Amino acid sequence: MEESLPLNWLHLGIGLAVLVVMAAIADWKKSRILAETLGRVASEAQVPLDSGPFNMRVLGRLAPIVPALVVYYGIVPALGVTRAEVQAGTEPQALIVFWTLVRRLSAAYITLIIARTLVAVCDSFNAIYHRTSPASMAKPIKSYVQVITLVVYSVAGVVIVAILLGRSPVVFLSGVGAAAAALMLIFRNTLVSLAASIQITSNDIVRIGDWVEVPHADADGTVIDIDLHQVRVQNWDKTVSTIATPKFISEPFKNWRAMSESGGRRVKRAILIDVNTVRFVTGEEVAELSRRESLRRWLPPGPEETASWAPEPEVGGETGHVPPVTNLEMFRAYVEWYLRAHPDTHKEMPLTVRHLAPGPHGSPVEIYCFSSDTEWLGYEAFQSRLFDHLFAILPEFGLRAFQELSGPDLVQADGSLSPERGEAVPDPAASDPL
């Protein structure tokens, strides 16, 4: 007996050394082994390995299972101990404990690798769906993938604990029902986010690429990501706001998607007219305006329409005459003709030029129309060109835009500046020697 002990320990040492070498070789060749094996299967099944769900990233998650399997199954011949011998207790206690520990750790590690691989497969499906499906912008599945990830890791955690303790996983899973209240308390935010994600997706409330304004989060920009717990919005200043997903159900926000899909973007802006410049016009002034090249294109074209602008004198007490026409009325009609003929206005949407209530800053004339370009730069360019033209055309009708007095206006009112050229006018009293 004394001579056999060193021989047994020598056999154990050699067996463990061989096992370690085999595990090291398997770890070194693991990626190549899996790539060749799965590559052969993929080629026979005509499934793309690079762009498919079982791509190299998934293989990288699965590759560590090779050395783990070598250790799990190799520990039996290395130690020469079987499950029956362990259960019978015929082997030394230290050997049984070591065999049990190695087997359980290897099994737990294999479970973790399988869980991480399943999560990687789900992420690959999400990436493929986002890359190939046009519906991915309106119906993202990232939140559902995150729920599956949570379930996979939760089940894997229960199984790993059961393996390490030598118990059946069914015993632990059956106890989940008793701990449902505690789990709901722990995962309350996750459950609320899941419900919000389902509502957002099913009701098509927010999509990736939508322009949203979220006042309570001070966010104004484009949605770039929607997941289980948060929605990321890239603001126009290139900052990124992160908003909890349930906030899009419980808090008000504005989504500009309908505007983009309608093909028209509203222009609603007013010009303040100085009421002191509003007056009636004569027939000669109408004729003069109609002869101007800059106005001829936009005024009513026919002679009958042009003649209708001229005021008719009152005859006796008759009330059927045409009332006198003001220059502001002509300006409003001109602006409406201009907008209807402009190539960048949306012809199938409301268009009007109307008066608003006058106030201490003049009489507002509001332009209400829609631009056919809904993109921000094109829309702003149209709006800028429109009001540049309107401000420049106001003097043609004898009108002036109202603005509060500034320094040069006060100096001009005092008489020290020339109204025509804005140059200093010499004061006669200053040049008189007397």
What is the DSSP secondary-structure string of 34-100?
HHHHHHHHHHHHT--TTTSSS-HHHHHHHTTHHHHHHHHHHHHHHHT--HHHHHHT-S-HHHHHHHH
> Going edge to edge, which strands form the sheet with 211-214?
240-244, 230-235, 219-226, 211-214, 254-255
Q: How far apart are CA 367 and CA 353, in angstroms?
A: 5
- Tokens 């802006």 correspond to 269
pLDDT of residue 221: 92
Residue 93, C-beta contacts closer than 8 angstroms, at least 6 positions apart: none
Largest CA distance in the chain: 145
- Tokens 């986002």 correspond to 130
- Tokens 């399943």 correspond to 118
Residue 155, C-beta contacts closer than 8 angstroms, at least 6 positions apart: 115, 173
pLDDT of residue 333: 85
Sign of the torsion formed by the C-alpha atoms of 352, 355, 356 and 360: positive
Residue 138, C-beta contacts closer than 8 angstroms, at least 6 positions apart: 204, 207
E-strand stretches of 200-264? 211-214, 219-226, 230-235, 240-244, 254-255
Q: How far apart are CA 143 and CA 195, in angstroms?
A: 10
pLDDT of residue 239: 92
Q: Which amino acid is at 150?
A: L
User: Residue 169 has which token pair?
Assistant: 């996983």
Q: Quick count: other Cβ atoms within 10 Å of Cβ 146?
A: 21
Q: How far is residue 304 CA from its own chain's centroid?
A: 55
Q: How far apart are CA 220 and CA 230, in angstroms?
A: 16
User: Residue 324 has which token pair?
Assistant: 């006198």
Residue 433, C-beta contacts closer than 8 angstroms, at least 6 positions apart: none
The mean pLDDT values, 10 residues at a time, for the chain of 434 residues are: 51 75 76 66 56 64 82 79 65 74 88 89 80 70 79 85 80 63 72 82 83 90 88 92 89 88 90 91 76 61 51 47 74 89 90 91 92 90 93 90 72 52 47 43
Residue 38, C-beta contacts closer than 8 angstroms, at least 6 positions apart: 49, 54, 59
Q: How far apart are CA 299 and CA 286, in angstroms?
A: 10
DSSP 251: S
pLDDT of residue 234: 93
pLDDT of residue 320: 46
pLDDT of residue 301: 54
Residue 386, C-beta contacts closer than 8 angstroms, at least 6 positions apart: 267, 339, 342, 367
Residue 315, C-beta contacts closer than 8 angstroms, at least 6 positions apart: 321
Q: Which amino acid is at 370?
A: F
Q: How far is residue 136 CA from its own chain's centroid?
A: 13
DSSP string, 114-163: HHHHHHHHHHHHHHHHHHH-GGGTTS--HHHHHHHHHHHHHHHHHHHHHH
Q: Which amino acid is at 108?
A: A
User: Residue 58 has which token pair?
Assistant: 């998934």
What's the chain's Rg over C-alpha atoms? 41
User: Residue 246 has which token pair?
Assistant: 């349930």
Strands 363-371 and 352-355: antiparallel
Give per-residue burial for 94-132: e unless 16+ CB within 10 Å, then b: ebbebbeebbbebbbbbbbbbbbbbbbbbbbebbebeee
Q: How far apart are CA 321 and CA 427, in angstroms?
A: 52
pLDDT of residue 245: 87
Q: 222: number of CA atoms within 13 Å, CB side?
A: 10
